Amino acid sequence: MQVYTVPTYIVPTETFDHFIQGDYMPPSKKNLRPFFAEKLIEYIKRASRASTDAQTQKPSSDEASLSGLIESGAVPLIEDIKRYINSHKIPVMIVHIPSRYSLLKEDFDIPESVLYFGRLLDADFINGAEAFRHLSDSQIRDMYFPFDGHWNQNGSDRFAAYIAKKLAQRP
């Protein structure tokens, strides 16, 4: 089997439409602008300066392994992660990314195992399912590729707008 390497590009929807129509020329090589890294660093700095609210009692690692929500072999890894993030004062955020299946059966809750994991790490949560809560089944299906579990451009744009709004509301 021969493997071919082809250049890949991430392009805006309008550019992709031009490509499909046959009138697209790939851009010349550009320097990568570290936009997302800069935004992430800004967010981490803001979050580390923000005072933390009192949270509910967190389960111990023994309780986690006994609960059946987290495999016992994962507990030492989670404890290592917690020590690292605490020692570096890194805020933890978990963003729930819903599946089409869960949305269609109107299951908008973050899975209990994910909540449990996040509580162990003192994480904040954003429930991405909320971006789709008020859509009909047909509208939800229109947010995903028909033969794939991934969002199409509409679903991705909707989710991104929701997350951007949630992050903008954070201290």
Rounded to an integer, what distance in angstroms lies between the CA atom of residue 38 and that of residue 45? Answer: 11
142 pLDDT more than 90? yes
Taken in order 72, 73, 78, 80, is the CA torsion positive or negative? positive
| pLDDT at res. 7 | 60
Mean pLDDT of the chain: 76
Distance of CA 9 to the CA centre of its chain: 22
Q: What is the arithmetic mean of pLDDT over 109-128?
A: 89
| pLDDT at res. 126 | 93
pLDDT tens digits for 64-86? Answer: 444 567 777 777 888 888 999 99
Give the domain ranges of the chain.
13-49+58-168
128 pLDDT more than 60? yes
- pLDDT confidence tier of residue 144, bands split at 50, 70 and 90: very high
Q: What is the arithmetic mean of pLDDT over 45-63?
A: 46
Q: Which positions ≥6 away from 44 have C-beta within 8 Å?
A: 90, 91
| pLDDT at res. 73 | 76
| pLDDT at res. 149 | 84
| pLDDT at res. 146 | 85
| pLDDT at res. 65 | 45
Task: Please list the residues that pair with 7 across neighbouring strands.
Answer: none
| pLDDT at res. 15 | 74
28 pLDDT more than 60? no
Q: What is the arithmetic mean of pLDDT over 146-165?
A: 91
Higher pLDDT pick, 119 / 3: 119
C-beta separation of 170 from 46 below 8 A: yes
110 pLDDT more than 80? yes
